[in-house]
Structure 1
Amino acid sequence: MSPARRRTTLALLAVALGGFAIGTTEFVTMGLLPQIADGTNVDIATAGHYVSAYALGVVVGAPLIAVAAAKAPRKGLLMALMAFFAVAHLAIVAADTYPTVMAARFLAGLPHGAFFGIGSVVAASLVSHERRTAAVAAILGGLGVANVVGVPLATLLGQRFSWHLPYVLVGAVAVVTVAAIAVFLPHQPPSGEESMRAEVGALRRPQVWLALLIGVVGFGGMFAMYSFITPTMTELAGLDERYIPWVLAAYGVGMVTGMVLSGRVANRFGVLRGIVVALGMIAVLLAVFGTAAQVLWLAVLMVFVLGLLPSIVVPLLQTRLMDVAHEGQSLAAALNHSTLNTANALGAWLGSLVLAAGWGYGAPSLVGAGLAVLGVGVALLSAGLERRTRRQAATGVGAPTGRGMGDCAVAAPAETAATPSP
């Protein structure tokens, strides 16, 4: 490996380490929900709010930071975001009540979307044009590795020692990430083309809002069930709680597999059609999960598939957003994560409602199936509007002016592929 290639790889790994920390903290709460509920003297349904609190932090922080810091040097911004993330996690040691844990999880979520959004832009800038997808996938790959290694290990430590411990360890990883970025990432000055006005301008496009809505309702279905994965597996499948980390690892392996397969799905179906097909399969999976999960081996298999299918959709949805956003690239990249965490908050909240109503642990997956069907509907609406706009452009009737729904050409399949880290 040449010295230049080695420096680039180390820079990507430094940012990916932050993705590992973020992925671990995002999902470990779900694995430790019973312990956190006991530790803060609330029931399982109420403890689901801790998942929503983090997700809401992402939703609020992603667009605000991406727009407000449009002209900030990117290296310094990444370091500042991860330093804030570290402080929020180390401070959770003092949180042991419902309000304090809610506040800590909200604050921890603020840097999430902006870190991934800016990190993706930085990763693409470090490599040649044809390797951009691989570089961005390396950053997002931290999420997959977190679910294979970080989340199961953190869950195991939380079960055996204290539910505070995993968050403290995540804070420590964040501190290491700050140092790694400082050492390995080259200076990243703004290109001079970024501006708050240009970033916000992307929100004038109806297709951007439709893409965001696909993520909100489509992924809300998955989170409605997965937010309560631990009690669901112990109550429905009869799994001993000590084996929950292995179930979470199966979900993580599914995530990594889905990221590898997403490019093939894009090549075969195209971006929007791939989203529709995958969301339709998620809807079917969730519709039967409550019944099928009563067979242990089948429940574990379905958890694996539940990790796989959404991970196929994520890069397709990311591509769709960046296609239709045009000048708002940083905001679009950040909003993808904001959208997914809106889905996280929505799904966890709706799941907690049906549990609080006494409908049992099979009910959240049915709610999720309904949300996934809505996601399919929004994707079909987006495709229909795109076809109509193209017909109008071809005939010259009602042709777009350059800022409407016509600016939504689907990227070439090669640009949608989520490949493993280079």
Structure 2
Amino acid sequence: MLYLLALAVFAMGTSEFMLAGLLPDIATDLHVTVGAAGTLTSAFAVGMVVGAPLVAAFARKLPRRACLLGFLLAFAAAHLVGAVTTSFPLLLATRVLAALANAGFLAIALTTATALVPADAKGRALAVLLAGTTIATVAGVPGGALLGVAAGWRATFWAVAVLCLPAAFGLLRSIPRGSDDGPPLRTELAALRRRSLVRAMSRAALVNAATFGGFTYLAPATGLDGLWVPVALMLFGAGSFVGVTLAGRWSDRQPRKVLVVGGPLLLLGWPALALATGRIALLGLVFVLGAASFAVGSTLIARVLYTAADAPTMAGSYATAALNVGAVAGPLVAAATLHPSPFWASAVLVAVGLVF
């Protein structure tokens, strides 16, 4: 069942990250600036932040299978509209709708996944789900970029909608009908008053802001063009898969080791990418930063799940919100620092997160 959830997360992750290679084409086609097109990423993340706790609270007592299927099909429908619209505001609205569906799906999927494993293996369950996202960056996002080069950016939206169908069929056959039984909502929301949970969510948000800020503007900030953009995205995705796989092994019992190794790599890697000029150096740094970003980020998100263990039906929404607060802030901060480089902003965000 974990792998079926990961398949759906793969489709959603492809959509979430694919704009990194499509922003210039979208901006040209819809007659907006690259910075304005970058708000599509932020709009998606805003929908995730707002939607995760609200949708999870609404759906916590509803049949789990119906919720997951409903969110997945709504996500597909949003991409169908996005594929045909010629209006940038409407495209922006579809990104928010897709994000709300994604938020609800991911919050319930995280709750479902952590319920399937022992109490001390939340990091491993999270790693399986995030593997869907990392595979999206390895295969889905570069594939979408190649499809965008060959057939236009709209073709990638059609492709994401089609990707949702096999995941929906698999979930229909395997997810039980039952709903979650947990403490009262008021009790679960009270966990947000604890400083330890707020601190864990803040650190995860800051590191994820650095990742999204740098990744969103990877193509324009590095000067890569043509087929080199999909190559860079694929390398970032390969690194992220390595990072999340390693974190899945260590984040449950030895999270400090992941942070001690990955943190300095991020602090040094983002400035190095801002200063790099050779293509080989750029691509090598992209791989390393993908690995370190997802290793550190997934470890911090696992800490959110552990810290919110007494909120079993809402913990997934807290983790989802932490991820996407960073995804909102990162591209906005990066857009303001396109010159000289958004990678400097990523370095500062990581530094603040690790000091926090």
When the two structures are superposed, what TM-score results if normalisation uses the length of structure 1? Answer: 0.79
Within the candidate set 244, 247, 252, 1:262 is matched to 247
Alignment of 1:332-411 (within 5 A): 332-355=315-338, 359-360=339-340, 363-378=341-356
Partner of 2:218: 229
Q: Does 1:200 align with 2:184?
A: no
Task: Report if aligned partners of 1:279, 1:375 keep a CA contact under 8 Å in 2.
Answer: no
- Partner Cα separation in structure 2 for residue 189 and residue 228 of structure 1: 40
Residue 328 of structure 1 and its aligned partner are, at CA, apart by 1.4
Q: Does 1:297 align with 2:280?
A: yes
- Partner Cα separation in structure 1 for residue 166 and residue 75 of structure 2: 12
Partner of 2:255: 271
Give the match's secondary structure for 1:110.
helix
Q: 1:116 to 1:267 in 2, by over 3 A?
A: closer
- Partner Cα separation in structure 2 for residue 51 and residue 143 of structure 1: 15
- Give the aligned residue type for 2:325: T
Q: Does 1:123 align with 2:117?
A: no
Partner of 1:244: 229
Residue 24 of structure 1 and its aligned partner are, at CA, apart by 0.2
Residue 111 of structure 1 and its aligned partner are, at CA, apart by 2.3
Within the candidate set 105, 121, 137, 2:95 is matched to 105
Partner of 1:64: 54
Residue 266 of structure 1 and its aligned partner are, at CA, apart by 4.0
1:41-71 Cα offsets, whole Å, 9 max, x none, are 1121221111111111111111111122221
Within the candidate set 279, 288, 297, 2:272 is matched to 288
- Give the aligned residue type for 1:105: R
- Partner Cα separation in structure 2 for residue 136 and residue 194 of structure 1: 22
Q: 1:107 to 1:263 in 2, by over 3 A?
A: closer
Q: 1:377 to 1:170 in 2, by over 3 A?
A: same
Q: 1:98 to 1:72 in 2, by over 3 A?
A: same
- Give the aligned residue type for 1:210: R
Q: What root-mean-square deviation, in Å, do the aligned CA atoms of Structure 1 and Structure 2 show?
A: 2.1
1:6-47 Cα offsets, whole Å, 9 max, x none, are xxxxx3332222101111001100111111111111121221
- Partner Cα separation in structure 2 for residue 320 and residue 376 of structure 1: 14
- Give the aligned residue type for 1:286: W
- Partner Cα separation in structure 2 for residue 277 and residue 183 of structure 1: 41
Residue 319 of structure 1 and its aligned partner are, at CA, apart by 2.4
Alignment of 1:87-98 (within 5 A): 87-98=77-88
- Partner Cα separation in structure 1 for residue 186 and residue 309 of structure 2: 13
1:163-205 Cα offsets, whole Å, 9 max, x none, are 1111121112223322221112233332x32432232121121
1:70-127 Cα offsets, whole Å, 9 max, x none, are 2112111111111111111111123222211211111111122332231122234445
Give the match's secondary structure for 1:327.
coil
Q: 1:218 to 1:315 in 2, by over 3 A?
A: closer
Give the match's secondary structure for 2:131.
helix
Task: Report if aligned partners of 1:218, 1:279 keep a CA contact under 8 Å in 2.
Answer: no
Task: Report if aligned partners of 1:71, 1:194 keep a CA contact under 8 Å in 2.
Answer: no
- Partner Cα separation in structure 1 for residue 353 and residue 265 of structure 2: 12
Runs of 5+ consecutive residues of structure 2 not aligned to the other structure: none
Residue 267 of structure 1 and its aligned partner are, at CA, apart by 7.6
- Partner Cα separation in structure 2 for residue 189 and residue 267 of structure 1: 27
Partner of 2:163: 173
Residue 253 of structure 1 and its aligned partner are, at CA, apart by 0.6
1:239-279 Cα offsets, whole Å, 9 max, x none, are 442221121111111011001221455488x3356436523
Percent identical: 30
Q: 1:197 to 1:276 in 2, by over 3 A?
A: farther
Q: 1:262 to 1:157 in 2, by over 3 A?
A: same
Within the candidate set 28, 36, 39, 2:29 is matched to 39
Residue 338 of structure 1 and its aligned partner are, at CA, apart by 1.9
Partner of 1:217: 206
Give the match's secondary structure for 2:31.
coil
- Give the aligned residue type for 2:213: A
- Give the aligned residue type for 1:309: A
1:295-352 Cα offsets, whole Å, 9 max, x none, are 1001001111111012112332122112222321332222222222221221111111
